[in-house]
Every structure is written in structure tokens, then in C-alpha cells.
Structure 1
Amino acid sequence: MLRRRFHPYARIRRVLFAIIFFLLNAHIFFHFLHSDPDPAADTSTAALWDYNPYATVPRIHGVGRVYIAANHWISAKVLKPYWINGLLLLIQQLGPENVFVSIYENGSWDDTPAMLRELDEILGRMGVARRVLIEAITHQEQVAELVAQGDDKPGWVMTSRGKKELRRIPVLAKLRNRLLEPLEELQKQGKAGFDRILFLNDVVFTAQDVVTLLKTRSGNYTAACSIDFNKPQYYYDTFAIRDSKGREAPAQRFPFFAGGESRNAMMNGDPVPVKSCWNGMVAFDAAPFLRKQDPLRFRGVDDSLAVSHVEGSECCLIHADNARYGWHSNERSGVWINPLVRVGYNFPAYHYQRLHMYGWSEYMISIPVRIGTSLLGLPWRKKRVMDRVERWKKEQPGRDEPGDFCLVDEMHVLVENGWKHV
């Protein structure tokens, strides 16, 4: 009887499929073994947002003056009590005289404007220097603007839907830059002596989270970020985060990064070196934003590049610009993620991370994540995107994009109720 002969590659394929099958099942097993906790069952965290305007709060030293900036849009669910009380408690610890608060909101259809007006009054009673700017322009009004195909209006590009549409990223960059308008006025008045610029997303955080972030590496950073979670075990901001080699993080579960110094630091709970991050909260060295010539500001990629279906986050590009044109010193260098600072876009996500950060379940789930990303060779090289960038450069001499590691094969446009991939 003839024996059936197996090709050696077939055996290798079977082994690989078996390993992948095991990893998938292990992933599911640990997910259900350590399911999301019920936040209502734990009341121990309530005091973290217990703001008392008459309380005497010990001051935090070694941070300096902080310019706090925040954009809000439909944020009511997280503003009370988490965001607003977290901010007020932070100001108590830093000292009202040591902060400036810049908030910009536009077009929300929930209670966000009313809550921010109330916050403005509280900040006034605390003696906090601030600008809380609330405008009524909506996404619908922005996208209703008609632009003829022959026009070259910045931010509008021809899309696959056969019409010119308003790009999301330049709009976001403009909104973030509006937060810095008071900084420019303070500079003119000679009052812009800030050490840090702190950007806060609409996330659940505590005052201690922010203080820990501000003190990352004893203040030795050009930027330091938290990690943000929209679901209890899955980090959110994949668009802005890049490891120390400029690669995307291939997994949304711990330890997030592919092999190398970024993943090693994450596994050890040490500050994680990266090329870019944002992830809910980010503290910058203020110096590059305060330069008299070409101060650091947010931007999007050029429309002529974006039209080829290439996009990059303004929150990543600012790190690229800072690395290329920014000011650095031995005392403040590098972009880092503080893995001990984790925030959430809702309380269940924040609560889960607070309870289980660097617990046994996180280390166990890291096993299939690490093996899986290694077996699949993730993250894969973005050849299609890089080819488009090279063609764009050749079309016109002198073109350059220092944030090429930020770029992805996507196009984002504004729509009436938010934004959309096209």
C-alpha cells in the first residue's frame, strides 16, 4: 500500500493554524474568565471626585505653571461628575494662581454648553485665569458649505463619493489651535511663563492621574501621555500612537506594542518611549509652543497628499514637527507614555483599568497577544501609503512630510452628526 506523502510546508501550515487556533481560544477564555466588573458594586472610588470648595488641599510642588486646554463636543455624560470635578480638584492641588484654563466647545446638542458655563462660574469664584469659549456652529452648518470642484479652498478635497468634502483633521487642528489663542495674548502681555501645556480629552480622570502624568520621569520629557480606553480592556487612540520605531501598535490589548523597547517598557511598567501618543491626556513641555518664531501648532497633512487617500492625526503630526523643529534639552527630552496613568471615555472602562492595571489577568492576556503579533509579523509595513507619499514628492520638488510615520491609508470627512471614513 502506498503511503500518503505530506509536503513539509503542509505540516508547517498545520502547526501554525493549530497555534493560532490555540491563541484565539486562549484569548476568549481569559476574556470570559476575567469579565468586566460591575462598577456599581464598588463605591470606594466615589471620593476621588468629591470636590469641596472650602477644603484645605495640600499643594503639589515641582510641576510649575500649567496651561490646561480642552476641546469639548457632546461631553455631558463624562463632564459630571468626573471631568469637571477632576479638573477642580487638580486646580486645588496645583494652586489657582499656577494654572490657566482654556476650553472650547462648539455645536453640542446635549447639556455640554450649560455644564461648561457653570464650570466657568466656579472657576471665576476660585480666581482661576481662564477662557471658556462656547460657540453655536454645528457640523451640519460646516458641511453645508458648497465648494465647486474647481475651487482650491483649504481643507476641501475631492472624495470617492464624487464631490468635494471637508476633511476632518484640518478642522480638528484648527479647533485645537483655538485653545492656544489665549496663550498668544498672554505672551503679548508678558504673562506666558508656563512650564507645561496639558491637553485633556473628554475622559474620566482624577487629579492624581494628572499629577502622576505631569511628574513622568521627574519632568524629563517633551511630551508624556496617558493610555485611553473606550472599552474596559481595549485602548482607544490607535490613530495617534506610534512606538519608538514609528510603528503602529498592532494590538488594542496589553501590552499593545510589537517586540522592542516600547513593549519591554510597557511590560515592566516603566515609562514607554514612543515617537507619538495622545491617548486621552498629554502634557507637553511648553517651550516649543512659546517660541516667538514659528511656535508649535497643530496641522493636518497637505490637501494635495490627502486627496490620494492618505491621512495622519494632528495629534501625531505635532510630535513629528516638534522632533524636527522643536526645542530640546537634556532636562526635557523624548515622548513617553506613562503606563500607570490610564483614563477612560466612560466610567466602566476607567474603573476596570484602575482595578486591574498590571494584575495577573493583564499579564496572562499578554501571552497570546505577544505570541500572535510575533507569529504574524505585526505591524506590517505600510507600503501602499509610502508609495503614495513618494509619488506625491516626485510630482513637485521640495514637497516633504516629516510625519510620514503618522500616515495611514484612510480619508476622514465631516458629516452632519460627526465624521466618516470615505
Structure 2
Amino acid sequence: MFVWSAQEPDYQPVPGDVDETVALKSRSGSIWHKSFRICGTGRSKWRRLLLRCLIFILGFNLLLLVLVPIFKPSYSKRPAHFSGKNIHGEKVFIAANIEDEGLIRGAWRKSVFDLIDLLGPENVFLSIYENDGGPGVKAALEELSTLVKCRSHIISDHIDRSKLPTVQFLPNDKRVKRITYLAAARNYAIDPLVDFPLLNSTIGPFSTPLTKFDKLLFLNDVVFSPKDAADLLFSTNIGPDGRTRYDAACAMDYVNPFKFYDRFALRDNEYYESGLPWYPWFTPGGSRAESWHDVMQQKDAVRVKSCWGGMAAFEARWFAESVRSVESASMDSLSPLRFRSEEEVFWDASECCLIHADLQDLVRRATGSAGNIFVNPYVRVAYNEATFKWLEFSRRFERLGFLSHVILGWLLGQPKASARAAEVPGHQVAHAEWIYSDPPNLKPGEMFGVEDMSKFGTWKKVEKTATPGGYCGGPMLLALRNPAPKKGEKYWEKINPVIPYVDFE
């Protein structure tokens, strides 16, 4: 039933124009604010994702930094056959060229004396040849000679440069090659190896003469472990009978706890230059990458074609006696090895690489088989005591540099090889040689600079018989300074030809 009320109905007012505008603005601002928040949230997500990636990468690297040296250290656990002893009583000729007075009086001398004790003084001959090291070095060596227990020949001398071969690329400027000079010093150090009166001495504690040596050990001015030196000599690439199977074996030398030094002499088993100077030292390039694979397997005998590494061991017979060639019907006599340099003006190579090239050639001609040359990465030396003390620790971390070595090596186009790496000793080859020609009307004493060399010579095609070691060298000249260096300057300099080298096919 309908009931009429006297009250007026409760109507809602209709919004006016002003209120509606305010409401629309409010809603518009709300939409804009939401849009802004949505865009801001997107950027935050990317920032958070990037931050998480960085944290993950950092955490992963920290994890590797902890786990690798514990569970996957490099060349840290010596093989079981490494004894650090001269088990078979082998005879060792130690040769050294050293000019560091501090090392002669300190770490080097102590290590040499400990090595002599370890090998047995009656089994060792020590030959040191030093030239132009100064009065302090001479006095230090004289003191050493009074203390050494084995037979020895220790000389401080002067090499007469006027008697060494020279090369010329400028008028009135004949130069002695640095490598010629170094080769002469090394040869003087091994001179007593053959026909030296003291070898036959039986005076004092020596009851038997040293008529034949089994090993030849070269030492640079390095800090080293006597046990490591013994393992290089007697434990590298041993056979079932416990005897070594090498013609040469080298240590690895370091200038800081992670940086290997002597890349100038090192060539892998395919004649390529080594890679960057940290682990794994060699690149996976080439057709076989044998040196690289040997390192990956942590072998004590990494196959190479040449090396030095501050300390190098050889089978002494290749330096001590003439051998017969199996390649000729007349069985020609082959002379013992000696260090040498390249004869060309603008082609130089390390004497330590060339000696291995000559060694391989001699072994092939004497036996009909290839020479066995190895690097032993377990054996490491350094050029100062501080670096040497870190080497046992730093090697545990060196695998961490593997990825950077591979990537940077690839970017740099490694491995690289010498332009003459494919030359076969004894075969006819044609390549470029710098030929110097004297200018007419030259005034006495008139001097010229390196920039003038193009006026006095050029590259010419020369046909000749290839010598061993084409893979060792490159188009450069390492020459003793002329005139003599000023105080504080190096005694030698590197000179590159002004006209670029282009070899002939």
C-alpha cells in the first residue's frame, strides 16, 4: 500500500563543471603516475639483472680462486720418480757465465755449493767464465774459487772484441753482434770439457780422474733449487731403467711470480714461437699442438724444438767428442757442438735457440733419428730471490690464466713462425739478405745514423745452402754499441732495417 511522505526525497547532486575538471585531472595524473612507475620498474629490473650477473661472475671467480689452487693446482705435485738425487752417480760438467756480484756472494753460490754436495764433489767439474764484470765480480769469484769443493776452472777475463767477426751496414761503423759476443762467452765456459789437465787430477779428495761426462748443465745468473736442478738432470723423461731419454732439457725462468721470461729461445714442437708469457705458455694452434697438449697433461717432458729457461741440461757427449755420421758411406766425423750466431747483417737469433737447432741436426746425422728436446715445467728458476720464493705458491693459481691466454693469443694471431721456419738444413734456399756497399769519396771518420742505411745497401736475393735454425731468427740486428755505451746504458742495441724485410719464396 502506497504511503505518501511529507519529507522531500534525498537526491544526489549532479557534479558541476569545475568539480568534473578536477576529477579528470586527478584521474589523468593517476594514469601518468602509473605509466611512470611502470617505466621505472623496467629500468630497475635491468639494473637488478645486471647487478645479479656481476655478483654471480664475481662469486664464480672467487670460487675458482679458492678451489683451483686446492683441487687443480698446476705443476705442484712432483712425479713419484723425482728424487732430487744423483742415484746412478753420473758425472756432471757445470758451466756458467755470471756477472751479478750479489748472486755470486749469495743465493747463487749457496745453491751451486749445495748442488755440488748433492751430486757428489768427485762427480762434478765447475767451469765459470766471466768477462768485464768489474773488480767486485772478480773478487767474488776469487772468493768462490777458494771455497768450492769440486774440481773447477773459474776465470775473470776480457773478450777482445777486435778478434770477433763483425757486420757492417753503415760506413766507418763495423759492429760485433751481441749474439756473437754471448756465444763466445758460452764457448769459453765449456772449453775445459775437452782435454783440460785438471780433469785427470787425482789430488786431494779426488781418487779417480774425470775422463768422461754424462751431463752438461748450463747455469745463468738465476736463483734455483739444487734438488730441482738434480731432477732436471736425472728425472726428465726417464725410461724403464730409470735413465733419462733426452738430448736437452730446460727449466723455466721467471721475472715475476707469474711471468715466464725466455721466449726468445723457446720454440714449440712445430717450430712456432711460444705464446704469451704465462700458463700454458704455448698455444693450441698448429696442426698438432703437441707442446700445448703436453702442458695440459702436466708432463715433466714437454716436447719442444728449442728452449733455455735460465738452466739447461744436455747429454754431454754432443759437446765433448766427435761422432760419426750415419748419412755418408765414408762415416765422416762430425765436430762437437759449439755456440754460434747468424752471419747475415739483418737476421738474428738467440744462440740458445741455434744450439738446439745444431743439436737436432747433429743427432739426426749421427743416429738417423730426431733429437729429444724438452721443457720441464716442474723446474723453475728466477732472477731474484723475492720472485723465487713465490714460485711454489704462484704456480698453484696459474691455471686461472688459461682463458685469457687462449683469447688474447687468438686475437694476436698466435702462434707465429719465422719466415724461414720451413727451411731444411742442407737444402738450397733463396731468401733476402742485406748487402752493404761502400760509397765513393767517403771522408775518413765521417759517421752516419741508422736512418741513412738505405743509402749504403739494399735487400738482394741470395741462393745458398740452408743452415740449421731458420725457425729461430727474424729480420733484426742485435749489436754491441759503437762507440762504447755511456754509464747506465745497455751495452747492446736492437736495430731494425729501415727498408722492411721481404723474403723471397
Q: Which TM-score applies when normalising by structure 2?
A: 0.63
The count of aligned residue pairs is 350
Closer, same or farther: CA 258–162 of 1 in aligned 2, 3 Å: farther
Report the Cα distance in structure 1 between the residues aligned to 2:291 and 2:171, rounded to whole angstroms. Answer: 39
Give the conservation status (yes or no) of the 8 Å contact 1:78–1:345: no
Seen in structure 2, the aligned counterparts of structure 1 residues 269 and 159 have a Cα distance that, compared at 3 Å, is: farther
Helix, strand or coil for the counterpart of 1:209?
Answer: helix
Counterpart of 1:7?
Answer: none
Deviation for aligned residue 1:171: 1.1
- Distance in 2 (CA, whole Å) between partners of 1:331 and 1:391 is 31
Match of 2:293 in 1: 264
The answer on 1:101 being equivalent to 2:131 is no
User: What is the DSSP-based 3-state SS (H/G/I as helix, E as strand, rest coil) of the residue aligned with 2:194?
Assistant: helix
Aligned residue number for residue 237 of structure 2: 217
What secondary structure, in the 3-state scheme, does the structure 1 residue paired with 2:237 have?
A: helix
Paired amino acid for 1:129: R
Which of 331, 335, 340 lines up with 1:299 in the alignment?
340
Local SS of the residue matching 1:312 = coil
Q: Tell me, in whole angstroms, the C-alpha distance in 1 between the residues paired with 2:393 and 2:293.
A: 22
Correspondence for 2:259: 234
Query: Which residue of structure 2 lines up, in the alignment, with residue 86 of structure 1?
Result: 111
> Structure 1: how far apart are the matches of 2:274 and 2:464?
31
**Structure 1 residue 384 displacement after superposition:** 8.8
Structure 1: where are the runs of 5+ without partners? Answer: 1-25, 35-57, 146-152
Q: Which residue of 2 aligns with 1:401?
A: 467
In the TM superposition, what is the alpha-carbon distance from 1:261 to its structure 2 partner?
A: 1.6
- Asked if 1:68 corresponds to 2:94, the answer is yes
SS of match in other structure, 1:274: strand
Q: Summarize the Cα distance change of 1:261–1:162 in structure 2 as closer, same or farther, 3 Å threshold.
A: farther
Instruction: Give the superposition deviation at 1:349.
Output: 2.0
Give the match for residue 157 of structure 2: 135
1:203 counterpart residue number: 222
Alpha carbons of structure 1 residues 412 and 389: separation in structure 2 relative to 1, 3 Å: farther
In structure 2, the residue corresponding to 1:111 is in which secondary structure? Answer: helix
Q: Report the Cα offset of residue 207 of structure 1.
A: 0.7
Match of 1:373 among 399, 409, 413: 409
CA contact (8 A) 2:89 2:123 kept: no
1:312 counterpart = 2:349: yes
Instruction: Note closer, same or farther for the CA distance 1:406–1:77 as it changes in structure 2 (3 Å cut).
Output: same
Contact 2:349 2:474 in 1 (8 A): yes
Match of 2:377 among 311, 321, 339: 339
| C-alpha distance in 1 between matches for 2:369 and 2:236 | 12
Could you say which residue in structure 1 is the equivalent of 2:307?
277
Q: Indicate if the aligned counterparts of 2:123 and 2:210 stay in contact, CA closer than 8 A.
A: no
Determine which structure has the larger helix proportion and give its number: 1
SS at match of 1:131: strand
Give distance in 1, aligned partners of 2:276 and 2:113.
34
Unaligned runs of 5+ in 2: 1-57, 67-83, 201-208, 239-243, 323-333, 424-428, 435-459, 496-505
Instruction: Tell me how far 1:329 sits from its aligned partner.
Output: 6.7
Distance 1:199 1:335 in 2: 15
Q: Counterpart of 1:363?
A: 399
CA distance in 2, matches of 1:59, 1:237: 27
1:231 Cα deviation (Å)?
2.3
Deviation of 1:268 (Å): 2.9
Q: 160-169 or 343-352: which moved more?
A: 160-169
SS in 1 for 2:97: strand
Percent identity (aligned): 33
Partner AA of 2:341 in structure 1: G
Give the aligned residue type for 1:135: D
Residue pairs, 1:320-339, within 5 angstroms: 320-326=357-363, 333-339=371-377
Structure ranking higher on relative contact order (CA contacts 8 Å, 6+ apart): 1
What letter corresponds to residue 96 of structure 1 in structure 2?
A: P
CA contact (8 A) 1:257 1:263 kept: yes
Bigger radius of gyration: 2
C-alpha deviation, 1:330, in angstroms: 11
CA apart distance, 1:385: 9.0
1:144-183 residue pairs with structure 2 within 5 A? 155-159=165-169, 163-183=173-193
1:211 shift after superposition: 0.8
2:4 equivalent in structure 1: none
The RMSD of aligned alpha carbons is: 3.3
Contact 2:265–2:353 (CA<8 Å) still a contact in 1? yes
| In 1: Cα distance, 2:386 partner to 2:117 partner | 26
Instruction: Compare 241-250 and 363-372 and name the one that shifted more.
Output: 363-372
Q: How far 1:162 moved relative to its partner?
A: 7.5
Q: Matches of 1:331 and 1:210 in 2, distance apart?
A: 27
> How does the TM-score come out when normalised to structure 1?
0.75
- Counterpart residue type for residue 374 of structure 1: W
